[in-house]
Every structure is written in structure tokens, then in C-alpha cells.
């Protein structure tokens, strides 16, 4: 049997007529940049996130970059984040001229460990960027408490966590702003690149809206120097077709994750990543930890099962960041995760048969050993 890592085609088939109608509408109305489709999507995504403001932008990296700028973070500031994430988290910080300060992650969750915040604090620290990795919220209570004590901004990288809750509260409501990616494989995926910033603050929302569109207040008038980070009307229309289904897709993802958890509970040689108390994951990825990752991965490949690695090189050891001077051993927990992580197929349309097949292949491998 073949089990793909994600199956975007299965989702398209279920939405094809609504999707084609929505795309045709945008073309007929020539609403290619911004416009009514964007406004409609922003309104419904804000409601989905439980916040008053959502600003649609070009992708998740720009969303984080503009959210930080919108919160007043900029050149010369230090921003604390973790090395166990996608490169975009650090890129967004570096692109605004701020300095990345890494701290090690929690060995149980792979997310930011709030205990390490104090050690990274300097007089130049301005913000914290927790990443809600795999759709599992970081400990926002401890992080926001620390930020409040030290007068820091909190901007979540929620690229993988549409709809996640921490202590019953949507993650977009924690801190100053949150950035989302709508890259096609995300829980809510566009048909190209797109992203959004959500915030409780009208000032932050207004600043992000200015920054994404050349600082434009009206035609030919530019209040500040900004960027071209706008969301296409086509992407907004695609996202508006998908958004009403997101809660159900998330429920299906969560149910598959629970099924994996039950089927793999006593599988030797692997460790399951548990949810922290109070953290409701939206199961973007189902990632396990295993000692002999490469052997296990090849075994699954030989059985027709696609897997992913999120992420095999921690950011402090990425060639792109070598000028920061880090070496192996600097963030041992993140490094251990990078060596051991293995993401299993997980998407709403995954069937019980596929899921049981993946779990059986994992158990079979352990028997072979």
C-alpha cells in the first residue's frame, strides 16, 4: 500500500466545484490584489481565531516579519526564539535587522522552554517568538508572564497552529500578535503562498496593513516606507472556500493523532510526543522520536509510507547562520530532537486502513530488530 505524507488532491476533489466557482468569480471581477475577497477572508479568519483583527499578507514568513515590525520591534533589538523550527522563524527576525537569541527547547514537547528565557535576557531584549510546533501550543502562560515582567512583546509563530488553544484560549489571543502561514500543506492551505497576522490590537493591525502595501494610506500617498507583502484576491477566495471546513478537518486530524497514539503506545524504540496540560493541539504534524531514525525511515519507505523530518538541522547549526558562531552541543535538547524526529503521514482524509498499516509497519520494524 502507498501512504502519502499529505494528500492535497483528496481535499481538492471534495471542494472542486465550490473552488472553481470562487476562482472564476475573482477573475470575472478582476479582484486580483486585496479587494472584497481579501476583506471577507480577513473578517472570517479573525472570527475563527477569536480576535478582532486579521490582516492577510503574502506568506507566513512575511506575516512574522510584519507582525514584529508592527509591534515596534526593529534594528538593534534582540528577539528570543528556539532553534527547533523552520528557518523562516529566524529569517523573519533577521530580516527586520534584529538579533536572534536562541534558547533550548523543552525535552517533552520540543517547544520553547520558558525556564530558559531568563538566561537569554539582556538590556536589548525586545520580544519573544514562541513557535507552536506541529500545531501544539507552547506554554503561553509562562512565556507571557515573563514578557510582562520584563516589558517584552510576544509574537507567536503560529504557522502550524491554526485554531490551537492554550488553557482554552485561542493562541491568537495570547501576547501581542500571531503570524500564520497558508502554505498549501498547512492545516489551512492556499493554492500558492499566503499568510496572515492576527492581533487584539487595532494599532498593530493598522501598522501591519500599512507595511504590507508600501505604507499606502490612499492612492499615491505613502505614510511610511513599507513593502509589497499583499495577499492575492485568488488566494483569499480559495481560503474562504476552505475556512468553513477547517474545524472538521482539525477534528479529523486530532482523531488520527489519537489513533496513532493508541496504536503506538507500546511500540518499543520510539517515543511519542505528549501534549502539555492545557495545550490543545491542532495536529498539523504527527511527529515521533526514535533512536534509529534513518533505519526506521528506510523501513517505512520500503513499505510505501512517506515520512518527513521536522526538522533535521537545528537552526543554530544551519550554514546560513554560521556567522553566529554556534557549535554542536550548544542547544543539546534541540540537537537530540533534530536527530530523532520522524513525522508520520497525517492529513484529514487519511483512512483507518492507511493509519493501521503505518502503525503495523512501525511495530513490524521493531520485531525485525
Ligand X SMILES: Cc1ncc(COP(=O)(O)O)c(C=O)c1O
Strand order in the sheet with 165-166: 169-170, 165-166, 279-280
Q: Mark 192-221 with x for binding to ligand X (rule: CB under 6 A) and - for no binding.
A: -x-x--------------------------
Q: Which stretch binds ligand X (CB under 6 A): 58-66, 269-277, 287-295, 353-361?
A: 58-66
**Min CB(14)–ligand X separation in Å:** 23
**Min CB(262)–ligand X separation in Å:** 27
Q: Cα–Cα distance between 234 and 240 in angstroms, integer?
A: 10
Q: Where are the beta strands (DSSP E) in 107-265?
A: 125-128, 153-157, 165-166, 169-170, 177-181, 195-199, 216-218, 221-222
Q: Does 156 bind ligand X (CB under 6 A)?
A: no
Q: Is 305 helix (H, G, I), strand (E, B) or coil?
A: strand
Q: Cα–Cα distance between 90 and 69 in angstroms, integer?
A: 14
Q: Does 61 bind ligand X (CB under 6 A)?
A: yes
**Min CB(147)–ligand X separation in Å:** 19
**Min CB(302)–ligand X separation in Å:** 28
Q: Compute and round to an integer the Cα radius of gyration of the chain.
A: 21
**Min CB(91)–ligand X separation in Å:** 8
Q: Is 252 helix (H, G, I), strand (E, B) or coil?
A: helix
Q: Does 159 bind ligand X (CB under 6 A)?
A: yes
Q: Which of 59, 111, 235, 307 binds ligand X (CB under 6 A)?
A: 59
Measured from the CB atom, the residue of 37 and 311 that comes closer to ligand X is 311
Q: Cα–Cα distance between 125 and 118 in angstroms, integer?
A: 11
Which residues have CB under 8 Å from 157's CB, separation 6+? Answer: 60, 64, 81, 85, 88, 89, 92, 129, 130, 131, 132, 178, 179
Q: Mark 279-318 with x for binding to ligand X (rule: CB under 6 A) and - for no binding.
A: ----------------------------------------
Measured from the CB atom, the residue of 60 and 163 that comes closer to ligand X is 60
Per CB under 6 A, contacts with ligand X among 69-98 are 85-86, 88-89
Q: Is 286 helix (H, G, I), strand (E, B) or coil?
A: strand
Q: Cα–Cα distance between 221 and 345 in angstroms, integer?
A: 49
Give the residues lining the site for ligand X (CB under 6 A).
59-61, 85-86, 88-89, 131, 157, 159-160, 181, 183, 193, 195
Amino acid at each position: 500500500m502507498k501512504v502519502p505524507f499529505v494528500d492535497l488532491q483528496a481535499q481538492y476533489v471534495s471542494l472542486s466545484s465550490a473552488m472553481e466557482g470562487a476562482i472564476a468569480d475573482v477573475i470575472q471581477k478582476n479582484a486580483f490584489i486585496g479587494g472584497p475577497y481579501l476583506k471577507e477572508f480577513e473578517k472570517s479568519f479573525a472570527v475563527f481565531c477569536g480576535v478582532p483583527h486579521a490582516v492577510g499578507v503574502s506568506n507566513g514568513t512575511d506575516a512574522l516579519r510584519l507582525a514584529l515590525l508592527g509591534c515596534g520591534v526593529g534594528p538593534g533589538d534582540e528577539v528570543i526564539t528556539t532553534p527547533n523550527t523552520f528557518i523562516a522563524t529566524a529569517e523573519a527576525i533577521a530580516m527586520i535587522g534584529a538579533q536572534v537569541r536562541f534558547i533550548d527547547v523543552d525535552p517533552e514537547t520540543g517547544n520553547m522552554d520558558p525556564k530558559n528565557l531568563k538566561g537569554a535576557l539582556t538590556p536589548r531584549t525586545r520580544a519573544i517568538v514562541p513557535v507552536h510546533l506541529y500545531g501544539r501550543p507552547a506554554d503561553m502562560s509562562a512565556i507571557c508572564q515573563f514578557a510582562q515582567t520584563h516589558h517584552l512583546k510576544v509574537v507567536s509563530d503560529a504557522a502550524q497552529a491554526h485554531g490551537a488553544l492554550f488553557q482554552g484560549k485561542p493562541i491568537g489571543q495570547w501576547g501581542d500578535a500571531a503570524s500564520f502561514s497558508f502554505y498549501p500543506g498547512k492545516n489551512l492551505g492556499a493554492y500558492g503562498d499566503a499568510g496572515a497576522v492576527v492581533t487584539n490590537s487595532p494599532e498593530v493591525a493598522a501598522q501591519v496593513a500599512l507595511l504590507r502595501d508600501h505604507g499606502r494610506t490612499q492612492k499615491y500617498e505613502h505614510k511610511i516606507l513599507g513593502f509589497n507583502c499583499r495577499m492575492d484576491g485568488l488566494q483569499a477566495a480559495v481560503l474562504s472556500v476552505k475556512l468553513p471546513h477547517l474545524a472538521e478537518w482539525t477534528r479529523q486530524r486530532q482523531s488520527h493523532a489519537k489513533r496513532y497514539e493508541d496504536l503506538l503506545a507500546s511500540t518499543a524504540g520510539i517515543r511519542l510526543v505528549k501534549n502539555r496540560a492545557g495545550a490543545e493541539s491542532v495536529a498539523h504534524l504527527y511527529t515521533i522520536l526514535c533512536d534509529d531514525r534513518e533505519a526506521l525511515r528506510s523501513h517505512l519507505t520500503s513499505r510505501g509510507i512517506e515520512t518527513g523530518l521536522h526538522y533535521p538541522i537545528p537552526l543554530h547549526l544551519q550554514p546560513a547562520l554560521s556567522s553566529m558562531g554556534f557549535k554542536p552541543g550548544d542547544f543539546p535538547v534541540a540537537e537530540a530532537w533534530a536527530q530523532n524526529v520522524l513525522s508520520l503521514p497525517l492529513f484529514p482524509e487519511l483512512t483507518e486502513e492507511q493509519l493501521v498499516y503505518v502503525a503495523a509497519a512501525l511495530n513490524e520494524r521493531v520485531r525485525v530488530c
